[in-house]
Structure 1
Amino acid sequence: MDYIEKAVRKAKNAQQFKGSGRLGPALEGPVQYTHTKVQPADQEVLQANRILSLDAPESWAEPYKILRTQVLHTMEERNWKTLAITSPGESEGKSVTAANLAVSIAMEFNRTVLLIDANLRRPSLHQLFGVSGEPGLRDYLLSRAKLSDLLVNPGIPDLVLLPAGRKAANSSELLRSPLMKRLVDEVKHRYPERMIIFDLPEVLAKADTAAFAPYVDATLLVVETGKTTKRAVQRAFDHLSDTPNLGVVLNKARN
């Protein structure tokens, strides 16, 4: 645990704040959108994938409420809108963290969130919510598909998902392309009041994340307690040094 604690202290701009109250208003009736496709997620799918819902136990939801408070405080203080979530290695919980942070923010009053699956090598957000993964980001980057035709609401008010689409072998090139930068600029200006969260590949495994990170306002690193080494955390920070870092999320920590 000591190596993780030291890594946390090295996180740029890391701050601690107490969590706020309940997640937010109850979901009442089906969600209706004029242009966005609505594919309500099955509650059993959400529960199986450990994605927050109204039935989630308080002990499960509380860590994400605390994380939400920390993230929103720092982002709003600096007028930042775009956040990339990654991890040093595979299977450290970054996608579940990205999804639950997005849900937690969306459930707060007067908040809207756009969650983008930018892991073009191994997309997973659509599976976590139990919605269709195609078309998606890949179609925007390769086929010039309209962004409005790609967005999906998983039945959670104020949360919109842009799935990744089909896997892409040339994901590094796509993520650092001018079209990708245009997408980031487009969603920031089209949805000025919306928080935008990107789920990215592991930073040490591929070049994708380091190539894309300069396009966003900040990054957040997810590490698995007892698995991630201090050296891996420091290397991850080094790879992301050109973009402000909000800190570290300790996944599977006991306290």
Structure 2
Amino acid sequence: MEKLQAALERARKVRELETRTTRPVSTLPEPDQAKDALDRRWNALDRLEVDPRHLKSRRVVTHAASEAAAPFDILRTKVLLQMRQHGWKRLAITSPMPFSGKTTTACNMALGLGRQNDLRAMLFDLDLRAPSIHRFFEFTPPNGIDELLTGKTDFASQGLRIGDNVAVSMARGQIADPTRLLLAEKTAETLDQIEAEYEPDLMIFDLPSVLVNDETRAFLKNADCALIVIRADTTQYGQFDTCEREIGEHTNVLGVVLNAYRHGKRAPRS
């Protein structure tokens, strides 16, 4: 009888040991663990407080719903639906020539997406010869986007969060020889890593004007599609036509935004 009891006791201890070694570390299902980790990465980004009055002075009006924001909201929705249809996540925004409103459009797109609570968006200032997004948001980051793209710092240290679901990566100032940086494989690898770690629904890249230099051409291989911003009172048709053809050689042309249009006023032709 004593031998039987001893055998039963040994069997009980074996079962308890097996239960302890096979018990999961967390009771959360695996998808919930991944979502929780993703939320922590976004929440860990330093928060950037923006001044709506300053944004409005720079014609960035999508921080809150309004009549002024409506045209950009329509653009946001059209862009988002088309990109989802094709499975695209990376949007380049450029123009044929400077002063067409591409950076204003990029900032409005990003903040408009931020009002969609189920989406996450990222905005990157890659107009490295003349960066301006830091002036739109009245903040100069301690680490510039060039340090991020070359691997000297990571997005957790360089990226800033506006609200809960918009992240922005800005330059500190003008960068010498931007093409070298935009063409580099290290830049492509860094963007792939950011996309994998933060899983944004949309990555927006504010690029230089196409007809000014070769920097946008150098980067477009990293974008799924491009939006062209033209200005009604300055962009010539020949400039737009050349810009559209050159972008089409490197990525998909998603569409065209006509900026500064006035009813009853015809755009100049070349």
TM-score by structure 1 length?
A: 0.82
Number of the residue aligned with 1:237: 244
Shift of 1:140: 1.7
Deviation (angstroms), 1:193: 4.1
**Which runs of structure 2 are paired with 1:161-172 in the superposition (5 Å)?**
161-172=168-179
Structure 2 residue identity aligned to 1:113: A
Runs of at least 5 residues in structure 2 that lack an aligned partner in the other structure: 1-40, 264-270
Displacement, 1:42?
1.6
Alignment partner, residue 45 of structure 1: 54
How many angstroms does 1:194 deviate by? 2.5
1:173 to 156, 177, 180: 180
Q: Write the distance in 1 (CA, Å) between the matches of 2:239 and 2:104.
A: 20
Residue identity opposite 1:141 in structure 2: L
- Hey, what's the Cα distance between the residues in 1 that align with 2:252 and 2:177? 26
| Count of residue correspondences | 222
Please name the residue that 2:226 is paired with: 219
Letter in 1 for 2:160: V
Q: Are the aligned partners of 2:227 and 2:255 in contact in 1 as well (CA < 8 Å)?
A: yes
AA in 1 matched with 2:240: V
Pick closer, same or farther for the CA change 1:229–1:149 going to 2, 3 Å: same
Match of 2:143 among 135, 150, 157: 135
Identical counterparts, % of pairs: 30
Q: Does 1:246 align with 2:267?
A: no
User: Could you say if the C-alpha distance between residues 47 and 104 of structure 1 is closer, same or farther in structure 2, counting changes exceeding 3 Å?
Assistant: same
Deviations 1:202-223 (A, max 9, x none): 1110110011001111111000
Taking structure 1 as reference, are residues 53 and 235 closer, same or farther at Cα in structure 2, changes over 3 Å only? closer
In the TM superposition, 1:1-255 aligns within 5 A as 34-53=43-62, 57-58=66-67, 60-142=68-150, 144-154=152-162, 156-241=163-248, 242-254=250-262
Q: Which has the higher contact order (CA 8 A, sep 6+)?
A: 1
Question: In the superposition, relative to structure 1, how do residues 41 and 167 fare at CA in structure 2: closer, same or farther (>3 Å)?
Answer: same
Where 2:205 maps in the other structure, the secondary structure is strand
The answer to whether the 8 A contact 2:83-2:89 is kept is yes
Give 1:237 deviation, angstroms.
Answer: 1.3
Rg larger for:
2
In structure 2, what is the Cα distance between the partners aligned to 1:52 and 1:185? 30
Aligned amino acid, residue 124 of structure 1: S
Determine the structure 2 residue equivalent to 1:21.
Answer: none
Deviation readout 1:174-216 (Å, 9 max, x if unpaired): 0010111112212222233431000001111011001100111
Q: Specify the alignment match of 1:26 in structure 2.
A: none
SS in 2 for 1:236: helix
1:7 aligns with none
Q: Flag the 1:143–1:184 CA change in 2: closer, same or farther, 3 A.
A: closer
Q: How far apart are 1:33 and its partner, in Å? A: 5.9
Q: Which has the higher helix share?
A: 2
Structure 2 length normalisation: TM-score? 0.77
Q: Residue 168 of structure 2 aligns to which amino acid in structure 1?
A: L
Are the equivalent residues in 2 in contact too, given 1:138–1:166 (CA < 8 A)? no
Q: 1:193 to 1:113 in 2, by over 3 A?
A: closer
Residues 54, 122 of structure 1: alpha-carbon distance in 2 compared, 3 angstrom cutoff: closer
Contact 1:81/1:217 (<8 A) preserved: yes
Q: Which amino acid aligns with 2:172?
A: G
Indicate the RMSD between aligned Cα atoms, in angstroms.
Answer: 1.8
1:136, distance to aligned residue in structure 2 (A):
2.2
Deviation, 1:34, is: 3.7
Q: Deviations over 1:20-49 (max 9, x none)?
A: xxxxxxxxxxxx964211120122211211
Query: Residue 42 of structure 2 contacts residue 198 of structure 2 at CA under 8 Å; is this kept in 1?
Result: no
> For structure 1, which runs of at least 5 residues remain unmatched after alignment?
1-31
What is the DSSP-based 3-state SS (H/G/I as helix, E as strand, rest coil) of the residue aligned with 2:69?
helix
Q: Deviations over 1:36-72 (max 9, x none)?
A: 11120122211211112556641x1111011011101
Distance 2:191 2:63 in 1: 31
